[in-house]
Amino acid sequence: MLTILFLGDVVGEPGRSAVIANLPRLKESHAVDFVIVNGENAAGGRGITPKITIDLLRAGVSVITTGDHVWDQKEILTFIDTEPRLLRPVNYPAGAPGHGSIVLETAKGKVAVINVQMRTFMQPILENPFPAIEAAVAVARRETPVVFVDAHGETTSEKIAIGRFLDGKASAVVGTHTHVQTADEQIFPGGTAFLCDAGMCGPANSILGRAVEPIVNRFISNLPALFPVAKGEVRLSGAVVQVDETNGRAISITRVNELIPVPPSETPATG
């Protein structure tokens, strides 16, 4: 059995600090063999930098997926070709920097990870994700039956459709992007584990990881504003998927949803 830990969109410094600090404990308690995180909001909520990529990989992350925010930090455009463990969606037009999939060796055999972006209510609108993921999964399965897909998208229907489309072909399809965890974890009849959205790793008292007041004011005023990453306790969200590495079928999927207290050094002084 091969155990994969997936963590949803890491938001800003609070999110990445909590992931890095808690990863050793999560790996041990779930007997994790392989860690995937979505890092598209790791840099102040917007994209990911080369340094943050390296920090997450050094902390024990095997592969970092992204999504519509992948290019928000411009240096990633050149950096991504130097770090194959940082993925961008596989359905970018041909010629885009970086790659949308990777196969890595583990002590229990090879694991393929593929990142794909949905199209409904998403910008930019990429190539049709269905044929793109079908082709990418077929290529990956020439090397290994263990295939993990991060389906980055806004709507439940499109993510469920791609999960069902890949049933029996991928070991797991887990959604990202909404920052809100769904409670529909299940194993489809063909053996594919599914969760519509993993949720985020970011400040709990927030709106999708951002400070509450500026977002509420934006909805009221319609005026442009800054949306800083919120502070305080962090919610770590994701899933643990157990896979039979001999045939790629999922054995179980369990949601991760933990509230991490604020470290004492960051607790505001009282009195």
Set 30, 69, 99, 177: catalytic member: 69
**Contacting range for Fe ion; rule: CB under 5 A; set: 8-16, 56-64, 130-138, 164-172:** 8-16
Q: Which of 10, 23, 35, 68 binds Fe ion (CB under 5 A)?
A: 68
Taking CB under 5 A as the rule, does residue 99 contact Fe ion? Answer: no
Bridge partners (DSSP) listed for residue 251: none
Least separation in angstroms between CB 235 and Fe ion: 14
Q: Which of 9, 150, 197, 245 binds Fe ion (CB under 5 A)?
A: 9
- Between the alpha carbon of residue 25 and those of residues 19, 42, 179, the distances in Å are 10, 21, 23
Angstrom distance (rounded) from CA 108 to CA 95: 33
The residue assigned the tokens 């010629």 is 95
Nearer to Fe ion, 9 or 158 (CB): 9
Least separation in angstroms between CB 33 and Fe ion: 25
Q: Residue with CB nearest Fe ion?
A: 9
**Contacting range for Fe ion; rule: CB under 5 A; set: 34-42, 43-51, 184-192, 211-219:** 34-42
Angstrom distance (rounded) from CA 73 to CA 52: 11
Q: Which helix (H) or strand (E) holds 142?
A: none
Number of H helices and E strands in the chain, helices first, is 6, 12
Angstrom distance (rounded) from CA 2 to CA 111: 9
Q: Which of 67, 100, 191, 248 binds Fe ion (CB under 5 A)?
A: 67
Nearer to Fe ion, 40 or 158 (CB): 40
Tell me, by CB under 5 A, how many residues bind Fe ion: 6
Q: Which of 22, 41, 53, 73 binds Fe ion (CB under 5 A)?
A: 41
With beta carbons less than 8 A apart as the criterion, state whether 179 and 9 touch. yes
Nearer to Fe ion, 41 or 144 (CB): 41
Nearer to Fe ion, 202 or 248 (CB): 202
CA contacts within 13 A on the Cβ side of 169: 18
Cis bond before residue 124 (omega within 30° of 0)? yes
| Dihedral-angle region of residue 9 (phi above 0 means left; psi in -120 to 50 means alpha; beta otherwise) | beta
Least separation in angstroms between CB 176 and Fe ion: 6
Q: Is 99 a catalytic residue?
A: no
Residues 145-184, mask of contacts with Fe ion (x by CB under 5 A)? --------------------------------x-------
Least separation in angstroms between CB 179 and Fe ion: 6
The residue assigned the tokens 């999922």 is 250
Nearer to Fe ion, 159 or 177 (CB): 177
Angstrom distance (rounded) from CA 158 to CA 120: 7
Nearer to Fe ion, 38 or 192 (CB): 38
Angstrom distance (rounded) from CA 88 to CA 29: 30
User: In 3-state terms, what secondary structure has residue 104?
Assistant: strand
Catalytic residues: 69
> Which residues of the chain form contacts with Fe ion (CB under 5 A)?
9, 40-41, 67-68, 177
